[in-house]
Structure 1
Amino acid sequence: MTFVQGLVQRLLTDPNLVQQTKVNSKKQFLESQDFQAAVTEAVADNQDAHNTMADYFFTDGPAINAIIVALADAFYEAAVDQQVDAT
């Protein structure tokens, strides 16, 4: 499982984030401060398993925003797929 997939699976366990995908457009969701905070928390929680990515993430490198956008996009799509599978 890739770093992004692992984080997406972890973030899918947060019912508040999943709910946000139901009531917001993808653009609105991508701008969510809640999602950014959840990503930071998930990375911190999984730091031992993902030391290389976590170290990079917390260096304030220029690609951090791109990583968060990629995660938000992947999460949104997975949450929408999960909603479809549940119906």
Structure 2
Amino acid sequence: MVPNGGYVQWSGTSASAPIVSGLVALVRAAYPKLNAAEVMNRVIATANPNGHVVPSPVYGNGLIDAAAAVTASVAPSTSPTPTALLQDW
């Protein structure tokens, strides 16, 4: 929302990066002992594919779900590093 009560359209990585970063901060606050790969695993595992095949060339693993990322039961990451999680992309 903008100061006069309107809305603006925002897209691309410049829009998504701060939103995903905020989600990562929430996950880190809720689970401070998770390493980077485990945080990424939690965000990816709880994303909503919204009817798309995962990973989608446009939507990746789907729409992030902050509530699920912080509260859902997620299996531990099987990837040792964040880089390994991103290799399929």
Shorter-chain TM range is 0.3 to 0.5
Q: Which one scores higher on RCO, CA 8 angstroms, separation ≥ 6?
A: 1
Q: TM-score, normalised by structure 2?
A: 0.33
Larger radius of gyration: 2
Q: TM-score, normalised by structure 1?
A: 0.34
Between structures 1 and 2, the one with greater helix share: 1
